[in-house]
Structure 1
Amino acid sequence: MAFRFEKLTIKSQEAVQHAQELAADAGNPQIEPVHLLAALLGEAEGVVRPVLERMGVNVGQLQQIAQAELKHLPSASGGAPPQPSRETMTVLENAHAEAGAMHDEYVSTEHLLLSLVKTPSKARELLKLNAVDETDLLKALQQVRGSSRVTDQTPEGKFQALEKYGIDLVERAKQGKLDPVIGRDQ
């Protein structure tokens, strides 16, 4: 079965494209799951970083480890642009299955991350070393996503909208960052 790239969200397409660029820049003949992990961790916007941070993962450290791992991959000069390896295709197909299991119409970045955690590869080993497992990931995803479903190609902007656009006045008060109320009796 050929993977249907049109079923990826915009952010997922960007992650796959960034993974391909990472492989091409390093001269790697194949796009490995580690390239995909590094691309997902490199996204400032999106769901992957907030989910991992909610799990207590040091995302910066994980990103450095993934970048270091990329240097150990085989490289070749010249030739065709890098193609997805068999492991990467399995990750993409499993991500599509995860999206279906969550009743989502498109494969989003969280489906890719979940698939990386479940599919045997070097990326999975790196995630496990950083205490990322399927159970905790699903719990963190539930907290970030809520009951939202992926029904279009730009769902990531809808997750955590309150945190993104709102101001938590209670948290600001705890931090002492609120100005005193004028005209209030002491």
Structure 2
Amino acid sequence: MRQERLTNALQQALADAQSLAIGRDHTAVEPVHLLAALLRQSGGSVRPMLSQAGFDLAGLEGELEAQLQRLAVIKNPTGDITISPDLMRLLNLADK
């Protein structure tokens, strides 16, 4: 993944996803963190696009919250966090 090729909105969403993961003491930043961050992004395009496509946004947010609650938690968080292999794979595919 080449960060310079990411849009400002995606860079901000990744930072928000990282903050979400750290705030919940998760072991890594996962795709679910990124999707949650994209949905919460003020002025972003993901929420309106999904809404226009007919997605149940409240249901999606509820499922995302359930998924976030199932993720592993660090007992003694240090503030250091990594990108999960799944999220890295997703970002690399998007970079193609």
Length-normalised TM-score, structure 2: 0.90
Q: Which runs of 5+ in 2 are unaligned?
A: none
**TM-superposed deviation, 1:64:** 2.1
CA contact (8 A) 1:16 1:36 kept: yes
1:47 maps to amino acid:
S
Aligned ranges for residues 79-98 of structure 1 at < 5 Å? 79-97=78-96
Alignment partner, residue 27 of structure 1? 25
Q: Number of residue pairs matched?
A: 95
Show CA shifts across 1:41-82 (max 9, x none).
111312111110111002122112102210110011223521
Alignment partner, residue 12 of structure 2? 14
CA contact (8 A) 1:34 1:70 kept: yes
Q: Distance in 2 between matches of 1:26 and 1:93?
A: 25
Alignment partner, residue 48 of structure 1? 46
In terms of fraction of residues, the more helix-rich structure is 2
Q: Secondary structure at the match of 2:70?
A: coil
Length-normalised TM-score, structure 1: 0.49
1:54 maps to amino acid:
Q
Alignment partner, residue 66 of structure 1? 64
Q: Distance in 2 between matches of 1:63 and 1:14?
A: 19
1:85 maps to amino acid:
S
2:84 maps to amino acid:
S
**TM-superposed deviation, 1:87:** 0.4
Q: Distance in 2 between matches of 1:65 and 1:78?
A: 25
Q: Which runs of 5+ in 1 are unaligned?
A: 98-186
Q: Distance in 1 between matches of 2:39 and 2:79?
A: 26
Q: Secondary structure at the match of 1:71?
A: helix
Among the aligned pairs, what percent are the same residue? Answer: 36
**TM-superposed deviation, 1:13:** 0.5
Q: Distance in 2 between matches of 1:26 and 1:75?
A: 7
Give RMSD over aligned pairs: 1.2
CA contact (8 A) 2:22 2:79 kept: no
Q: Distance in 2 between matches of 1:25 and 1:46?
A: 22
Q: Distance in 2 between matches of 1:67 and 1:47?
A: 20
